[in-house]
Amino acid sequence: MSDAADTPLLELRGVSKTFGAVQALDKVDLSVPAGKVTALVGDNGAGKSVTIKTISGLWAPSEGQILWQGKPVHIHSPNDAEALGITTIYQDLALCDNLDIVQNMFLGHEKLRFGLLDETAMELEARQTLADLHVTTVRSIRQPVASLSGGQRQSVAVAKAVMSAAKLVIMDEPTAALGVAQTREVLDLIKRLSSQGTAVMVVSHNLNDVFAVADQISVLYLGHLVAQGPASDFDTQIVVEFMTTGEASRPREQHAAASQSAGTGASAQ
Amino acid sequence: MTGTIDDPVASPKGTEEEGAKPAPGATSSSAIDSEQLVVLAPNVLADSVGDYFGAWWRRIKGGESGALPIIVGLIVICIFFEVQSSSFLTATNIVNLFVQAAFIILLGMAELYALILSEIDLSIGFVGAVGAAISLALIGSPQNWPWWLGIIVGMLACIVIGAFQGTIITRLKIPSFVVTLAGLLGWQGVLIYVFDVDKGAVGGVITVSNNIIDDLVSGNMTPWVGWIVLIVSVGLFGLVALTRTARRRSQGLTAPPVGVTIMMIGAVAVAGFVLVFVCNLNRGVLTTVEGVPWVIPFIVVVLAAQSFLLARTRLGRYIYAIGASPEAARRAGIHVSWIRTVAFALCSFTAGLAALVYASRLGSFSVGFDGGTYVLYAVAAAVIGGASLFGGHGKAIHPVLGGLVIATLTNGLALLNISTAGTDIATAAVLLVAVAVDSTLRRRGQSGTT
């Protein structure tokens, strides 16, 4: 493996963020490898949202450094993040209900022909992108987004990110509002996205979902990064322990073996 | 969920035709069933004309009725008045009706920009009046400017006023209701001031001294010119419609069947033929009066321009996007305040055109112009026609239909010798019924899709 391949796509070094007297993040060292799914987990108030908002440029870190492909960068605004190739999909998805799928996917980046909207070119490209992502449950890409299910809306938001040539897609609780089948749909989409070489960072509460898709897990606890490693090093129990107490009572291997023998193991691979 | 599942349009053939589904075996797991899909997008599944109309009918039943209820309503109202009064469907009265509707239609088109943005502009009555008064004052004596220069300056004044109000709304983040309410009062003051300053104004009235402005409403096209304009317009419309669907089909995208496009062009041609034919009948008593009033092609041009701007340009797309979700638009990198300001400027500009039509119809402009009431009629016209008060929805055709309904009521009730009081009450009732029908159908449509 070359050096470049070992360099994480995104790296946070000693990043802290304070709001007045409140220390929301304390010297977080987080790394996001390219082309993999990283899950960022933590209890309420652990600093997950602060972390992704820092990465996506809503505010600057109070301290520390952000490295993008090994080089230090300053992300001062969402536009800076987008220019680097970081797209964040918040829970509200930021879609316009009255516009159709194609219109939403190209919103703000419309293709023009003679100065006018080139609907044909946009529809062709949107169709191709959706096909590449195997988004097949949407029967017409000219239907308004208002008519889509939660999972389909999530798919449109992801396709929109792909279309903007994102290298890292951050998804905030992508499955929180979804039913079983739709959750499946979105998890498949996340896997497909990473198999196409796009890094995905998933922020989630739902450990079943996390173990279903994540290659790497990072656990935040009260603003500290308390654990980070390949998903195979964790299981549900140990993650819960990290999330709630900030430490694990036993070494990971032991823990994993114990829980596997107890029949509750959910660790991936 | 309502209705049945047996649906001819969603046959296997239909789904195979859909190029967007390359993955085999996946279509069966569609998260919405075919009934709902047809409701949402009738034109993308139909392969034949019959299928298309079947899908269209389902869509109406499902709550996406579009302009149909209002057209049906308009026909019902016309039949009612024709039964009640034999002078309703005469050439004189029909032309008169269009002339009466022109001002409210144009003012409704102006208001549409604000309504799509999920805003409201209460000031456009007086803003338009200020622009028209400036134009007339400059064209009339003692200034005697060329007519076109006077109009340009007057309309520029409207644009500047709209941009000014839009800037206050977006930069100071004051609700448009408040800013334009202030405008409603303030621009009336400015209007009075214009009349005070203009030496050509006599007793608070500026007379239209220019033939071209006067002819906008009072003048008629020579009958053969009317026919030529009709042929050229329908030809252009047909050309655009056919080339667009042909281009989509050549790229492997779905398009309505050719038969449907041709029928649509045919319908426009027939409607245009009837209109020109009626207008070309002699409706004079002592002398010959015939031909299409110039204001009708004027409205068609403004209608085409607005439709084009809203549907084919980035600006229009962004106006719809902001109306539905300003936050989504902002995150998509759209300069939201700039787009909103431009939309308010367009709103005021169109209002200026409306006020010119008003002046042309009366042959003069009075300081007593009731801009406050007209603005409410403009909102009513847009909403009766089908635009949404909640933003994000509305087309240029909506104020045209709504304005025609209002004018038909006013005109028909006057023929029946019903007082202004009765007319006001009837207009109010129609407004309520139109909005009630629309929101009921829409609710049914939504409950069917979730």
- At B4, the pLDDT band (50, 70, 90 cuts) reads very low
Nearest to A169 by CA among A79, A64, A52: A52
Residues in B closer than 8 angstroms to A95, CB to CB, are 325, 328
Is the pLDDT score of B363 beyond 60?
yes
Which segment, A174-183, A244-253, B371-380, is predicted with the most confidence on average? B371-380
- Residues B173-190, mean pLDDT to the nearest whole number: 95
- Residues B128-135, mean pLDDT to the nearest whole number: 95
- At B450, the pLDDT band (50, 70, 90 cuts) reads very low
Which domains are delineated in chain A?
A: 3-261 (3.40.50.300)
Predicted local distance difference test score (pLDDT) of residue A5: 55
User: Cβ of A73 under 8 Å from any chain B Cβ?
Assistant: no
Predicted local distance difference test score (pLDDT) of residue B178: 96
- Residues B171-184, mean pLDDT to the nearest whole number: 95
Percent of chain A with pLDDT over 70: 91
Strand A168-172 to A86-89 pairing:
parallel
HSE of B24 in the Cβ direction (CA atoms, 13 Å)?
0
ipTM of the complex: 0.81
pLDDT single digits (tens) B20-46: 333 333 333 344 444 444 444 444 555
Is the pLDDT score of A102 beyond 80?
yes
Q: Do A110 and B317 touch (CB under 8 A)?
A: yes
B29, B32, B243, best to mutate vs chain A, most A CBs in 10 Å: B32
Is the pLDDT score of B9 beyond 60?
no
Predicted local distance difference test score (pLDDT) of residue B295: 93
- Residues B425-443, mean pLDDT to the nearest whole number: 79
Phi, psi torsion values for A250, nearest 5 degrees: -130, 160
pLDDT single digits (tens) B68-85: 778 888 899 899 999 988
- At B140, the pLDDT band (50, 70, 90 cuts) reads confident
- Residues A47-58, mean pLDDT to the nearest whole number: 88
Spatial separation of the C-alpha atoms in residues B64 and B72, rounded to whole Å: 15
The pTM score is 0.84
Higher pLDDT, A213 or B32: A213
Q: Which two tokens stand for residue A167?
A: 């290298």
B40, B117, B313, best to mutate vs chain A, most A CBs in 10 Å: B40
- Residues B311-340, mean pLDDT to the nearest whole number: 93
Predicted local distance difference test score (pLDDT) of residue B45: 52
Among A13-17, A28-32, B57-61, B278-282, where is mean pLDDT lowest? B57-61
Predicted local distance difference test score (pLDDT) of residue B64: 60
- Residues B377-400, mean pLDDT to the nearest whole number: 90
| CB atoms closer than 10 angstroms to residue B206 | 24
Mean pLDDT computed over every residue of chain A: 84
Which of B37, B320, B333 is nearest residue A99 as measured by Cβ atoms? B320
Q: What is the 3-state secondary structure (H, E, C) of chain B?
A: CCCCCCCHHHCHHHHHHCCCCCCCCCHHHCCCCHHHHHHHCHHHCCCCHHHHHHHHHHHHHCCCCCCHHHHHHHHHHHHHHHHHCCCCCCHHHHHHHHHHHHHHHHHHHHHHHHHHCCCCCCCHHHHHHHHHHHHHHHHCCCCCCCHHHHHHHHHHHHHHHHHHHHHHHHHCCCCHHHHHHHHHHHHHHHHHHHHHHCCCCECCEEECCCHHHHHHHHCECCHHHHHHHHHHHHHHHHHHHHHHHHHHHHCCCCCCCHHHHHHHHHHHHHHHHHHHHHHHCCCCCCCCCCCCECHHHHHHHHHHHHHHHHHHCHHHHHHHHHHHCHHHHHHCCCCHHHHHHHHHHHHHHHHHHHHHHHHHHHCEEECCCCHHHHHHHHHHHHHHHCCCCCCCCCCCHHHHHHHHHHHHHHHHHHHCCCCHHHHHHHHHHHHHHHHHHHHHHHHHHHHHHC
List, as ranges, residues 83-122 from A with C-beta within 8 Å of B.
92, 94-99, 103, 107-110, 112, 115-117, 120
Residues in B closer than 8 angstroms to A56, CB to CB, are none
What three-state secondary structure class fits A38?
strand
Is the pLDDT score of B197 beyond 80?
yes
- At A268, the pLDDT band (50, 70, 90 cuts) reads very low
Write down the domain spans for chain B.
8-61, 68-219+293-449
Predicted local distance difference test score (pLDDT) of residue B35: 45
pLDDT single digits (tens) B199-221: 888 888 888 888 888 888 888 88
pLDDT single digits (tens) B281-304: 888 888 888 889 999 999 999 999
Show Cβ contacts of residue B287 under 8 Å, excluding neighbours closer than 6 positions: none
- Residues A189-198, mean pLDDT to the nearest whole number: 89
Higher pLDDT, A162 or B63: A162
Q: Which two tokens stand for residue B299?
A: 């409205």
Predicted local distance difference test score (pLDDT) of residue B316: 96
Show Cβ contacts of residue B18 under 8 Å, excluding neighbours closer than 6 positions: A139, A140, B44, B45, B254
Spatial separation of the C-alpha atoms in residues B101 and B107, rounded to whole Å: 10
A235 neighbors A267 (Cβ within 8 angstroms): yes
Is the pLDDT score of B167 beyond 70?
yes
Q: Cis peptide before A8, with omega less than 30 degrees from 0?
A: no
Which of A94, A124, A144 is nearest residue B328 as measured by Cβ atoms? A94
Predicted local distance difference test score (pLDDT) of residue B401: 93
pLDDT single digits (tens) B209-254: 888 888 888 888 899 999 999 999 999 999 999 998 888 888 888 7
What three-state secondary structure class fits A161?
helix
User: Cβ of B433 under 8 Å from any chain A Cβ?
Assistant: no
Higher pLDDT, B410 or B440: B410
- Residues B331-356, mean pLDDT to the nearest whole number: 95
| CB atoms closer than 10 angstroms to residue B199 | 11
CA of B91 vs chain A CAs: smallest distance (Å): 40
Predicted local distance difference test score (pLDDT) of residue B46: 56
Predicted local distance difference test score (pLDDT) of residue A260: 47
Predicted local distance difference test score (pLDDT) of residue A43: 87
Residue B441, CA distances (Å) to A143, B59, B69 in order: 18, 11, 10
Predicted local distance difference test score (pLDDT) of residue B299: 95
Among A58-62, B40-44, B113-117, B390-394, where is mean pLDDT lowest? B40-44
Is the pLDDT score of B65 beyond 70?
no
User: Cβ of B240 under 8 Å from any chain A Cβ?
Assistant: no
Q: Which two tokens stand for residue A173?
A: 């609780």
Query: Considering the domain B68-219+293-449, what is its CATH architecture?
Result: Orthogonal Bundle (1.10)
Spatial separation of the C-alpha atoms in residues B399 and B404, rounded to whole Å: 8
Among A184-188, A215-219, B44-48, B367-371, where is mean pLDDT lowest? B44-48
Predicted local distance difference test score (pLDDT) of residue B106: 97
Predicted local distance difference test score (pLDDT) of residue A249: 72
User: Cβ of B317 under 8 Å from any chain A Cβ?
Assistant: yes
Q: Do B18 and A151 touch (CB under 8 A)?
A: no
User: Cβ of A149 under 8 Å from any chain B Cβ?
Assistant: yes
Predicted local distance difference test score (pLDDT) of residue A267: 40
Residue A16, strand partner residues:
A63
Which of B15, B40, B312 is nearest residue A143 as measured by Cβ atoms? B40
